[in-house]
Chains A and B, each alone.
Chain A
């Protein structure tokens, strides 16, 4: 087969990427699939063990707990962060004095390094001296006084029931990235459609529902998919705040358990099996999201 000069040049210029992809993405991906069928400690040569790692996964209570925690977290954090980001974007889209300042303020948390923000939240959530509980204590005290209840400020870090809410709050704090995407999309909503809706008597909510949301639906869909993938890979905050997996394993997630197995217990084979399960779960969740939302996404180029 004759390869044209243009194609050869094209391949030449893309070769750095192709080389990088093969060495740093394709090879590790395939190698991890092979390792998932091996006992491998990172250092000595892998030994084939068949499906042993996958069998062990099915009976590992910590893995099952991690899987459950991850699914619950993903189910809650994606709608929460998308909803909050959309709400903020709609508010920040209003023509207000100091609009740029507000936008910058809401975006700021998303550029704070995740480890730094983890340490910051560790302080804020401290049950004894943390700013959040310092604020809650007099409120709850007054409430208890009035109602005779015995409400206490939460043990955000040490109480397994409060670990998930704490993580959700941290995630909600970092929605600035999505807000920027939604703001850009809102800026692209054709003004004439809004005006036509107004002429037809649409109120603010009707305009949002029937004009704005359909028009920004491709961006919403993009953030849904990226949010889902990110949620299933949640790692940094749990690892910084609860390096031992949290109270009653409540802060053990897919990615943290994979990391611990690979680099603490030196069980790379077992960790690879977990990584492949996570990969399949993410594919399944993404496919479901595609199926469920496809008919709600409006693509202008395809004529809707």
Chain B
């Protein structure tokens, strides 16, 4: 009797285990092609995305979408890798633009050019329809691995016009020193404006800055800040022809030196104390009127409009450094891809959905309208609509002139971390054992060398480039 019970127990346990670990199913078999889509849209961005998928189902009755929210965090990357290796990956996945090359190098994504041709889409014609950086970030080792869903024009230069007017009216700034109506056009203009905006009122030992101008490294992290100013100075971070990491480009070095000049002139600790609240939209120093100048992401604009609707701001292109790039900007944003190992029978349906979301009038307008995200597809009717929103038109112009995207390389994450550290060391005024400060050139040369070493490892490992 005991034996029978024990055997029964084992069988039940195994069945329960198998049921629990069974991969998510496709839902009812109603003859429609099921598309499982892993997307990063939560909070207020979820509803428009759900509506977009519903619209797709109505206009494409042969397809059934199944959305799964997978936030942009590392845990979900692990789940995605596991799903691909375990042959139960979704049919469509959103990939952060800079990760396309990193994932493609490892066979996690399916090349799309063959599928595009099968669908009657000429890849070359499609390439011409996307903003150049949007297309470039999706192409690796000559294959197309994704299409850009949303394009972030990085960045707009925002100034608090109302605050500057008050500074002039209150006599804090000598008349004629600044023009609150116009943005600084050169870096020298910016430095002058910043000097009058920054107020380091120390009360006793309180080292907080009372009012800030610009925080050059406060652009969504150290690495993004260096990308922004490095390109603005005319530098390059990667030579993709020779696969060389070039963070030690003299112009990138000059950018970091300029950034560190602010840290040393105004005090890194003082500025950082205020800038610590960047992550919190409602306490952001620019939003609460404690910071006059800000390099602003398009989502930051939404925060200003939400938390400080009466704030009078101006928006323009970044000021131009001497010998640097005019109207410098780079691209960020999300792409859509088909994971490696996806059921070949569903790839065509997956591609059709991606093309609809990224490169159709209906898809680009529907999905981005309420989210205020920009499509990467130039023919979208959305552009005429977006230009009507206050300030959004400036971002449309920035996107149109955008020339850069983060380096298309398979060790992107490592590189970003190295740049983060390099900026951190210089801003903090790290010193050698003999007391001399470490220079921007030194730390960037180190970051380049370490990243190059990793890159060489990845590119020369056995089996490298064997994908698609």
A interface with B by C-beta (< 8 Å): 9, 12-13, 15-16, 39, 41-45, 47, 62, 126-129, 137, 140-141, 144-145, 149-153, 155, 157-160, 244-245, 247-249, 259-260, 263-266
Contact = CB atoms under 8 A, between A and B. Distances in A.
A144 B205 CA distance: 7
A49 to B, nearest CB: 9
B273 A127 contact: yes
Given A126-B276, A155-B273, 12 more contacts: A43-B108, A127-B208, A127-B272, A128-B276, A141-B205, A144-B204, A244-B417, A245-B421, A247-B424, A248-B425, A263-B74, A265-B413
Contacts of B430: 248
Contacts of B2: 9
8 contacts: A43-B106, A126-B276, A140-B206, A141-B205, A152-B207, A158-B272, A247-B428, A248-B425
B106 A41 contact: yes
Interface string B406-437: 00000101100100110011001010000000
Nearest to B208: A128
A137 B203 CA distance: 10
Interface of B is mostly: helix
Contacts of A155: 269, 272-273, 276
A263 B272 CA distance: 29
Given A9-B2, A47-B461, A248 B424 contact: yes
A39 B457 contact: yes
A121 to B, nearest CB: 13
Given A9-B2, A263-B78, A141 B85 contact: no
Contacts of B108: 43
B102 A266 contact: yes
Given A41-B106, A158-B269, A12 B6 contact: yes
A22 B81 CA distance: 23
A39 B205 contact: no
A157 B424 contact: no
B223 to A, nearest CB: 9
A249 B430 CA distance: 12
Interface of B: 2-3, 6, 10, 13, 74, 77-78, 81, 84-85, 102, 106-108, 203-208, 221-222, 269, 272-274, 276-277, 283, 411, 413-414, 417, 420-421, 424-425, 428, 430, 454, 457-458, 461-463
A47 B462 contact: yes
A222 B463 CA distance: 49
B393 to A, nearest CB: 34
B129 to A, nearest CB: 32
A23 B221 CA distance: 40
B77 A157 contact: no
Contacts of B205: 140-141, 144, 149-153
Contacts of A62: 421
Contact of A244 (B81, B420, B462): B420
Given A144-B205, A263-B74, A128 B277 contact: yes
Contacts of B206: 137, 140-141, 152-153
Contacts of B77: 263
Contact of A12 (B10, B277, B457): B10
A198 B299 CA distance: 70
Contacts of A151: 205
A264 B454 CA distance: 13
B339 to A, nearest CB: 12
Contact of B204 (A9, A150, A264, A266): A150
A159 B269 contact: yes
A196 B55 CA distance: 83
Nearest to B268: A158
Contacts of A160: 428
B204 A141 contact: yes
B283 to A, nearest CB: 6
Given A140-B205, A141-B206, A42 B10 contact: no
A264 B413 contact: yes
Nearest to A151: B205
Nearest to B272: A158
Nearest to B420: A244
Nearest to B13: A16
Contacts of A42: 81
Contacts of A39: 457, 461
Nearest to B458: A41
A158 B276 contact: yes
A47 B205 CA distance: 57
A249 B276 contact: no
Given A16-B13, A260-B417, A265-B414, A43 B84 contact: yes
Nearest to A39: B461
Nearest to B78: A263
B411 A265 contact: yes
A165 to B, nearest CB: 16
Nearest to A153: B206
A21 B131 CA distance: 53
Closest 10 CB pairs of A and B: A127-B273, A43-B106, A152-B205, A152-B207, A144-B204, A158-B272, A144-B205, A151-B205, A141-B204, A150-B205
A263 B413 CA distance: 10
A129 B13 contact: no
Contacts of A157: 276
A81 B273 CA distance: 29
Nearest to A156: B276
Interface centre among A15, A153, A244 (most CB of B within 10 A): A244
A128 B272 CA distance: 9
Contacts of B78: 263
Residue among B10, B107, B276 having the largest count of chain A Cβ atoms under 10 Å: B276
Contacts of A266: 102, 106, 413
Contacts of A126: 276-277
A263 B420 CA distance: 18
Contacts of B458: 41
B273 A128 contact: yes
Contacts of B277: 126, 128-129
A100 B407 CA distance: 59
A166 B6 CA distance: 53
Contacts of A47: 461-463
Contacts of B81: 42-43
A248 B463 CA distance: 37
Contact of B85 (A9, A16, A43, A152): A43
Nearest to A52: B457
A300 to B, nearest CB: 38
A140 B203 CA distance: 11
Contacts of B272: 127, 155, 158
